[in-house]
Structure 1
């Protein structure tokens, strides 16, 4: 078996050279790697709110697993299957990674497949190109040079295309093994164990539980800030400023985490809202942590995804050269699957010395190479004229069409029920409808020691076999109840779920009226 020489899969992209990353001295390390003990210590008091705890969804999933076992043993239930309609895992719900990605990965892990007649010719050429960059022609080595040079450079070119030509420096890009581990590394640099008061990170509610957990692991205080449901889950500037001021009573807030597109809320931030957020972090001297892992799942043409980097740069100086931003991308939320553990983050206006930390310690070092080579392919995909181009282009479009269709279907099925409502979903894997539960149901839930939405979801599971996530799993405004509903199911299956849900809800209201 002979590995062919590297072959370029696409013509060279025009590249506007970036200046060396040298932030303004006054802001060089405003958020990252600085001591939190500036000025007098904040007054001590009761511990700050840390968002929802512990995971309400876990109890549901344990019960669902028990029911599945009962069904497998011939148990008598009013349904024949458990339908999981809570997850954001596309692969678990039937959306396989793009075939081209799988073929390239297969060849790179077993080069004897080069020349196989049942594998696409351009997949073989691309795999040969990648193998030529790997140590000993194998993804089994650490291959740090491949990650930091080949992959990072292709990421930089991808970001320039995404952001309309705005420059991206590969030296400011850190490929990583998924975003969770990378966020721990980033926030660990913000933490200061010797400070009088801990550093704080503001995380959105509703939102994934990941961010609060990551902050705690990294040694920070996680403080929640509310999204404005009545404004389509926008980040409300005035309320956020109040939370920052309140946080200073307990800690030194250093980081603002923003999720765009939102999960589970399904919103995509407007440019105006993003500009307000950027202005706020500049005035409050915060590091902006942009979780943009669902950017490939924005499906409403009237509300396209815009990266925080693009909006920041287009706002111009002084903000463009001073606001510190770290943004995250994940392979698992687009073309690939979560099990491949691949992504990257980009640092903007952060002192270059900080980058050294990611190559000397931490989980960001030496990410799995199979995931990285798949990331490289997504960053530099098949081009028009390549045999795999049509199928590769169709893969994400199929997912977006499913999300858009399911979003419309959800609104159609829920709108006839007066006490069920949902903000428009514009992106991401889930919808977050709101439901009204009667006082008797609230009292019964309290008697059982359950959150009201957990009580509802458990009853729904027992009577219909449907698993949806209780809103308390993601956090929600006090006195409100929501459901996290996956939009990644095949449309016929989601329609079945929505019919079961609305029928059950109507009966539930009658039972507890």
Structure 2
């Protein structure tokens, strides 16, 4: 591959490592299976037996999986997953989801009628936000979204006819939500919109942070004072791996705060199978829970024909994950082992990331959860000027040069939003350790040569 000259003509880059094999290599995806993580075998076996009942008598499928498949098919209309199976969607799965939430949150009650099964978070978010938009008002609805954060929230706001209001996370405070910063953005936003919604992502994506309970209390108090709806994207909860900073849901913190907060603050929280221990992105299923939301608002979620509904197989896999633990159950044991493997893998990957980045000039805040990291770039003024001349964000310019020189494809931080004057790249922690190490070594070496070339 020819050496790249991103500086002035005739200014060659210092030598770079050989391209990563099979370039381009996507180093930013949070798609677990695409990144090489194996599926949970027993889940696929149950799904296969439900789809092809002849497998119920096949000894090649473990008896535990066949037994669970029989139990699931008994709940289906005519014992067949090919039916619409409305009752399974409307009653069976939501009831077990509510039981799961109650176990997870140390007994905080959950109403099955407040559970809505969805075809993934991205498909339901525009509908949620559209319920808050007053189409007759000259002042648009504002939705506060974290940066860095998943682009889906800002896109959903636009699709719903609302205005996205970015608020920067406090990078030097471990990507915490700085309530003072949110207040400032609220004041500025009121000149152009009516802010009604605060989106919070916990664990963070692509930042990898897990919010402290005190930070969550501060957020809930802010929501109460500013009369906002809290949208809690908690899809990465199964990927929280730091025992010193465990995932705690907003509904639990709200309940523990007591009255008047516990009975008045409105929260809509999200869970997705694609970000669960199963990592099954292709089945497109998840759920949301409505906390302290009036029944008049809950009803459209159950009746609206415009909401994409999850397929039966997706519901079956979600149902298995939500099921109550049964001591000695091989399926439960397999899920617990998968959870341990996933958390161990992510913890090891974070350690590897910090060790490799320490060899260069890149820095990254420590992570406690999630499947991605967001290292910060240090780009010289000359590189910033050339990016501006090309009409590119500086981190986009950097990522283009990185791809051409090394074959590593990373997402620029500007795709996820970031504080003004900062540049980042997004790195997936899901690939095998050897692959991640190759990506990180290519990144750190190229970052050094890039700075030298533009100094």
TM range (shorter): over 0.9
Contact 1:359 1:365 in 2 (8 A): no
**SS of equivalent to 1:155:** helix
- Contact persistence 2:123–2:308 (CA under 8 A): no
Deviation at 1:450, TM superposition (A): 1.5
Of 309, 314, 319 in structure 2, the residue corresponding to residue 366 of structure 1 is: 309
Residues 363 and 301 (structure 1 numbering): CA distance in 2 closer, same or farther, change over 3 Å?
farther
Superposed counterparts of 1:122-133, under 5 Å: 122-133=64-75
TM-fit CA distance, 1:311: 0.2
Aligned mates of 2:62, 2:290 — CA distance in 1: 36
Instruction: Assess if the C-alpha contact under 8 Å between 2:124 and 2:308 holds in 1.
Output: no
Task: Provide, for residues 281-335 of structure 1, a one-character-per-residue CA deviation record: whole Å limited to 9, x for no partner.
Answer: 0010000000000000001110000000000000000000000001000111011
Looking at structure 1, the residues matched to 170 and 438 of structure 2 have their Cα atoms a distance apart, in angstroms, of 30
Counterparts of 1:220 and 1:94 in 2: how far apart (Å)?
37
Counterpart in the other structure of 1:84: 26
Is contact 1:120-1:388 (8 Å) kept? Answer: no
The equivalent of 2:322 in structure 1 is 379
Are the equivalent residues in 2 in contact too, given 1:271–1:311 (CA < 8 A)?
Answer: yes
TM-score by length of 2: 0.93
Deviations 1:397-428 (A, max 9, x none): 212111110101111111232x3111011111
Aligned counterparts of 1:234 and 1:362: Cα–Cα separation in 2: 38
Change (3 A) 1:408 1:80: closer
Deviation at 1:78, TM superposition (A): 4.7
Describe the shift of the 1:273–1:78 C-alpha distance in structure 2 as closer, same or farther (beyond 3 A): closer
Q: Is 2:343 aligned against 1:400?
A: yes
In structure 1, what is the Cα distance between the partners aligned to 2:70 and 2:236?
30
Aligned pairs for 1:81-480 within 5 A: 81-82=22-23, 83-334=25-276, 335-364=278-307, 366-380=309-323, 383-417=326-360, 419-480=361-422
SS in 2 for 1:91: coil
Residues 344 and 242 of structure 1: CA distance in aligned 2, closer, same or farther (over 3 Å): same
The alignment status of 1:507 with 2:440, answered yes or no, reads: no
Deviation digits for residues 60-85 of structure 1, max 9, x if unmatched?
xxxxxxxxxxxxxxxxx855422211
Aligned residue for 2:57, secondary structure, equals: coil
CA distance in 1 between counterparts of 2:309 and 2:381 reads 54
User: Does the 8 Å CA contact 1:99/1:392 hold for their aligned counterparts?
Assistant: no
In the alignment, the residues of structure 1 paired with residue 159 and residue 338 of structure 2 have an alpha-carbon distance, to the nearest angstrom, of 36
* TM-score (structure 1 length as normaliser): 0.83
Alpha-carbon shift at residue 382 of structure 1 (Å): 6.1
Please give the secondary structure, in 1, of the residue aligned with 2:418: coil
Cα distance, 1:379–1:94 mapped onto 2, change above 3 Å:
same
> What are structure 1's unaligned runs of at least 5 residues?
1-76
Q: Distance in 2 between matches of 1:252 and 1:78?
A: 49
Residues paired across the two proteins, number: 436
The 1-side partners of 2:359 and 2:445 are apart by 11
Note the C-alpha offset of 1:140.
2.2
Q: Deviations over 1:229-265 (max 9, x none)?
A: 1111111111101111222111111111000000011
Distance in 2, matches of 1:78 and 1:147, equals 48
Question: Aligned equivalents of 2:19 and 2:407: distance in 1?
Answer: 8
Q: For 1:57-72, what aligned pairs fall within 5 Å after superposition?
A: none
Aligned residue in 2 for 1:57: none
The residue number in structure 2 matching 1:65 is: none
Deviation, structure 1 residue 156: 0.6
Distance 1:312 1:499 in 2: 43
SS in 1 for 2:209: coil
What secondary structure is seen at the aligned counterpart in 1 of 2:34?
Answer: helix
Shift of the 405–79 alpha-carbon distance from structure 1 to 2, 3 Å rule, reads closer
CA contact (8 A) 1:174 1:364 kept: no
* CA pair 236-387 structure 1, distance change in 2 beyond 3 A: closer
Q: SS in structure 2 opposite 1:257?
A: strand
Report if the CA contact (8 A) 1:182-1:363 is conserved.
no
SS of residue paired to 2:106: coil
- How far has the Cα of 1:362 moved from its partner? 4.3
